[in-house]
Amino acid sequence: MIKDFSTVFWGYLPPTKEPYTVHEKVNAFIGPSGHGKTTIWDGLRLMLGASHFESKRTFSFYVHKKSNWAVVRVTFYNQPVNGVRPFEPVRKFKDEVTACCRIYKNDTSSWAREYYLFDGEFYDLKDLHFNTKAYSAAVLNVGEYLEVLEQCLGITKEFRNLMAMSPDTVREVVNSSPHTLFNLIFDLKGAKDYKKRYDHSKQRLNEQEVAVERAEEEMKQAQSRFEETKQKAQKLRLYQAKEKEVEETRLKLKKIEYIESRELLKSTEEEMAGIAEQCKAEADKVNALTVGINAIKKELDWFEKEYNRLDELEEQANQDINSFTGDKTRNDIEVKNLSKQIKDLKQIKPQKIDDLYQLRDILVDDLDVKKLAYSKAQDELRQLKEKLYDLEKDLLPYKEEAKRFRQVLEREKIPYIMLADTISVKPEMKKWQEAIEAYIGNNRYRVIVETDKYLPAKKLQEKAKYGARVSLPKSGKEQILTIKDVPYPSIRAAINIDYSEKVEGYLDRLNNVYLVETVEEGHALQARGIESITLVGLLQDNDGAIHLKYHNLCCGKLAIEEEKKRTRELLSKQESIINELHKSVYQLQDELKELTDAIRNQELLEKLPELEHTYGQLLDEAKKLSEYIVEKKKKKAETKNEKEVIRSKEREAEGERAKLTSEKEQATLKAEELSNRYVVLQNKLGSLISAMEQATIEVKKLGLSNDAIAFISYDVQSSSFMAIQGGRVTSKEIQNRLNTLHQEKEKLYDPSVNEEIVRLVEAQEGQVEILSQNLRRLKEDRNDLERTCDDLLYQFRGHIKEIMNEYIKEFESFADLLKASAKGKLVEVTPEPETWEIHLFIGYDGKEPVAVDGPHLSSGQKASTSLMILLAALSDNKNDKATPIMFLDEPKARVDDDRGNEIGQLLQVTDIQYFITHQQGESLKSIDWIDHAFSCSACVPGKDFANPLILKKRSRRNYS
C-alpha cells in the first residue's frame, strides 16, 4: 500500500516541502481536461512498473519543458503482515520503504529511467539526480525493480496489463467472451505454480512422445537398410554389363570426332581464301572514293575562306554603321541639349557673381555650425539613452571612475563597502534628496575595506588613480553634541544608514548640518554659527555661502527613481532640440543648393558665344555622319548578296561530299567485316589444327594403327554410324548416348557390394533387435509420465474450480451492493483448462439475471458490471495479505450519479487501495466515497508551474 508521493519536474506539478499523503482506500485526482490529473496518475503508475501511457506518450511529454530530468517518489507501508514485512525478501525492515524513479537523458540524448529503493524515508530528490554516485547502493534497473514489485507486493505482469487498461478497454470487459473472461480472472486471481508444474510435466511428456517417434523411425530405417543390402548383389552384374557398353560407345565417339575435325578444318581453309579476294576488291573501291572526297574538300576550303573574307567585310561595315550611328546619336543629343541650354541662358538675368560667391561662403559657414551643433546634440542624446538604459537595468548611476574601481576590487576579490551603497534618504524627506547628495558630494564614493585588505586596496587605488578616499571602517561617536533650539532637521536625521558600525564615523558631521527651505532661514542659522543648506543646494556656513551641485543622484532607491524620471525628461527635451537642428540643417542645405545653381548659370552665361560656335560645328558634323551611314549600308548589302552565292555553292559541294563519304563508309565497313571474319577464321584455324591433332592422338590411345585411322572415313559410312532419321550420326548425339550410359552405370554402381556383403547382412539383423528393445523401454517411460501429468492436471483443475467458485461468490456479493442479482458458472469445454469458460449473469432493478455480454444491459449497467468483474478478481477478503493497488481512469464516466455512488461503495468494501481520475465537471456533492480528493490546476501562461494539489478529505462511512 502507498503511503505518500512527491515529484520534481514531473509535468507542471511544483516541488513541495512535504509529500502528498494518500488514503488507504479511494484517492482521486480531480480536474478538467488538460489540468494534469492523468500526468500525476501516470507518475504513480510508473512507480508500479508501468511503461506504456495514455496516447502513447513518451517521457518528453511528462518531464518539465525547462528540464531534462525528473524524479517521481512514493513511500510504501512496510508493516508486518502475518509476522512478515512485505519488503523483507529484499532486506528492508523499516516501517516504510521509499522508491524513486529518475528519468533523464542518456549519452545518446535518449530518454532513460532507473529506480532507487531506500529502507525508510527519503526526500532529497534533487540530490538524487545531481549526486547519483552517492546512491549507487540503492539503484535498480527496470528489470530488477519489476522483480522486487512482484516478489514483495505481488505486482505481476498481468496486473500491470490491467493497470495499463484505458477507460474504454475497462468498459469493454463486459463484452469479452466467456473464455477471455476465464483467462483474465485466472491471470489476476490464480496461483501460477499449479499451471507451471502442469505445463512442465506436459512438456516432458511431449518430449518423450518425440523420443518414441524418433526410436520408431530409427527402427523402420534399420529394417529398410537390411532389406536393401540383400538387393545390392544383384546390381553388381548389371553394372559390369553396362561398363562394357560404355567402352564400345566411347570408341565410336572418338572416330566420329576425328572425321568431324578433319572436315571442319578443310571447309575453314576454303572460306578464308574467298574472303581474302573480297577484301582486296573493297579496298580498291575505298581508295577511289577517297580521291573524290579530297578534291571536294579543297573546293570547300576555298568557299569557306572566301565566305570568311566577305563576312569580315560585312562585320566591318556593321561596326562602322554602329559607330557612326552612335556618334550621330550622341551628336544629336548634344545638339538638342546645347540648343536648350543656349535658349535657357538667353532668358537668365545677369547678376554680380562676386556677390553670389560671398553669400555662398556665409551659407556654408552657417551650415557647418548647425552640423556641429547637431552632432554634439546627438552625442548628448546617446549618452542620455545609455544612462536611462543602465538605470532601467537597475545599474547604479555612479560616475564612471567609481564603476571602474568597483570592478577592480571585485576582480581582485577584495570585500568593500561604498558609502553611497549605505545611504538612502527617508521617504518623508524625499524633497531634500538633491541638497543632501550635493552636500555629501564626492564623499559618496568613499570605499571602506577591512584592515587586512587596506594596503592592497590602496595599491589598486594608486594604479587606478581613483579620486575618492579609500578608508578603514569607522564607527560613530557614542555621544553626539547637538545644537538645541534648531527647528530644522539635520542631514543625518533625514537619511538611513546601513552598516552604521563601519561608516557612521564618516557621517558624524551631518548631525550638525541642517536642512532649510529658504535662504532667509539659512541666513538666520548662519548668524548663530550653524551650517545649513537650502532645497536648491545653497550652503551657508562660517566661511560664507556657496551653491553645491549634485551631478548624479545615486544614494538609495528614491534617488535612482528620481534620476530615472529626470533622465527621461532630459531625453525628451534633447530629442526636441535635435529635431529643430535637423530642420535647420535641411533648410540651409536647400538654400545652398539654390545658390550653387545660380552661380553655375552665371558662369555659363559668360560662355554663351563659345557655346553658339560649338552648336554650329555640331550641326556640320551631324550632316557628315548621315552621309557615312548611307554609304556603309550600301556596302553591307552588296557583301551580303555575295555571301549568299558562296553559301549556295558550298551546300551543293557538301551534298556531293556526303554522298561519296557514305559510299566510302559502307565500303570500309564491309572491308572491316570481311577482315574481322578472316581474323576470326585465322584464329580458329590454329585451334582446328590442334583439335585435329588431338583427335588423332585420342584414337591412337584406343589402340588404332595408322592404317586403321586412314580407314575411319570408310568405317563411319557403315550402318552402325547411321542415325535413325537417316544420314550419319553426329558426335553430339553419340556424346548424349554416352552420358546416358554413364548415368545408368552410376545408378548401378554400389561400392558396398563386395565379398563382405553376407557378414554385413548378419550385423544389420542384430542392430534391428537392439533398436526394438530400446523402443519398448521408451514406451514404458512414456506411460509413467502420462500418469504424472494426469495427477498434476487433476490438481490444476481442482485449484481452478476453487478460485472460480470464490470469484463467483465475490461477484454475487458485489452485485448485492449494486442492488442487483447475479450468478455465474464454470464451463469445462474440454478436460484441458486452457479451453474452459466462465459464464456470468446479472440482473438490475429486480430483473432476472442475463448474460453480461448480451444486448439487454444499458451502457451504464455495462460500465458498472465491467468494473465489478475486475474488482471481484482483485478482492480477496479471506486471506491476510498485502493490500493490492488499483488504478482506474474515470470509473464514473458514462454512468449516472446513483450508479456512480454504487460503484463507489464497491471501491470502499474491497480490500484494495484505489487511485482514480475524476472530471471536474461532475458533481462532487453527491459523492461520499472518495476519501482523498486532490484538485489539479493548469499552469497559467507566464508561470513555470501550476498550483500545488489541493487535498480535500471526505468524512468516512461504514460500508461493511
Query: Regarding beta strands 513-515 and 531-533, do their DSSP bridges make them parallel or antiparallel, or are they unpaired?
Result: parallel
Q: What is the mean pLDDT of residues 645-661?
A: 84
Q: What is the mean pLDDT of residues 157-174?
A: 76
**Phi and psi, residue 826, nearest 5°:** -95, 130
**Cell 537417316 sits at which residue?**
726
- Distance (Å, whole) CA 730 – CA 259: 10
The single-letter code of the amino acid at 278 is: Q
Domain assignment present for residue 437? The answer is yes
Greater confidence, 83 or 602?
83
Output the nine-digit C-alpha cell for 560. Answer: 535612482
**Phi and psi, residue 10, nearest 5°:** -95, 105
* pLDDT score of 880: 46
Read off the pLDDT of residues 169-210 as tens digits, 9 standing for 90 and up.
777 888 888 888 888 888 777 767 777 888 888 888 888 888
Would the pLDDT of 518 be above 90? yes
Would the pLDDT of 104 be above 70? yes
Q: Which residues contact 871 (CB under 8 A, 6 or more apart)?
A: 814, 886, 906, 907, 910, 912
| Cα end-to-end distance, the chain, whole Å | 20
Would the pLDDT of 643 be above 50? yes
Domain assignment present for residue 511? The answer is yes
Q: Which residues contact 789 (CB under 8 A, 6 or more apart)?
A: 198, 201, 202, 204, 205
* pLDDT score of 125: 93
CB neighbourhood size of 955 (10 A): 6
Would the pLDDT of 960 be above 70? no
Q: Which residues contact 272 (CB under 8 A, 6 or more apart)?
A: 678, 681, 682, 685
Domain assignment present for residue 509? The answer is yes
Highest mean pLDDT among 581-595, 818-832, 906-920: 818-832
Domain assignment present for residue 650? The answer is no
Would the pLDDT of 136 be above 90? yes
Domain assignment present for residue 503? The answer is yes
Handedness of CA 719, 722, 723, 729 (dihedral sign): positive
Instruction: Report the Cα 281 to chain-centroid distance in Å.
Output: 77
* pLDDT score of 89: 92
Read off the pLDDT of residues 272-286 as tens digits, 9 standing for 90 and up.
888 888 888 888 888
- Distance (Å, whole) CA 612 – CA 607: 9
Would the pLDDT of 957 be above 70? no
Domain assignment present for residue 149? The answer is no
pLDDT band at 111 (very low <50, low <70, confident <90, very high): very high
* pLDDT score of 877: 46
Name the residue among 798, 810, 814, 853 with its Cα closest to residue 180.
853
Indicate the number of domains in the chain. Answer: 1
Greater confidence, 164 or 508?
508
Highest mean pLDDT among 125-134, 357-366, 376-385, 829-838: 125-134
Give the CB-side neighbour count of residue 361, counting CA atoms within 13 A.
Answer: 6
* pLDDT score of 959: 45
Name the residue among 103, 113, 119, 195 with its Cα closest to residue 152.
119
Read off the pLDDT of residues 534-550 as tens digits, 9 standing for 90 and up.
988 899 988 899 988 76
- 75: which strand partners? 4, 98
* pLDDT score of 736: 82
Q: Are 636 and 314 in contact (CB under 8 A)?
A: yes
- 914: which strand partners? 26, 886
**Phi and psi, residue 306, nearest 5°:** -65, -40
The percent of residues above 70 in pLDDT, for the chain, comes to 90
Greater confidence, 51 or 849?
849
Greater confidence, 761 or 831?
831
Domain assignment present for residue 714? The answer is no
| DSSP labels, 427-451 | GGGGGGHHHHHHHHGGGGG-EE--G
Output the nine-digit C-alpha cell for 383. Answer: 549618452
Query: Regarding beta strands 447-448 and 470-471, do their DSSP bridges make them parallel or antiparallel, or are they unpaired?
Result: parallel
Q: What is the mean pLDDT of residues 351-377?
A: 82
Stretch among 98-112, 677-691, 794-808 having the lowest mean pLDDT: 677-691
* pLDDT score of 774: 84
Output the nine-digit C-alpha cell for 867. Answer: 468494473
* pLDDT score of 360: 81
Domain assignment present for residue 443? The answer is yes
Provide the domain limits for residue 527.
415-420+430-551
Mean pLDDT for all residues in the chain: 82
**Phi and psi, residue 946, nearest 5°:** -80, 180
pTM for the whole thing? 0.43
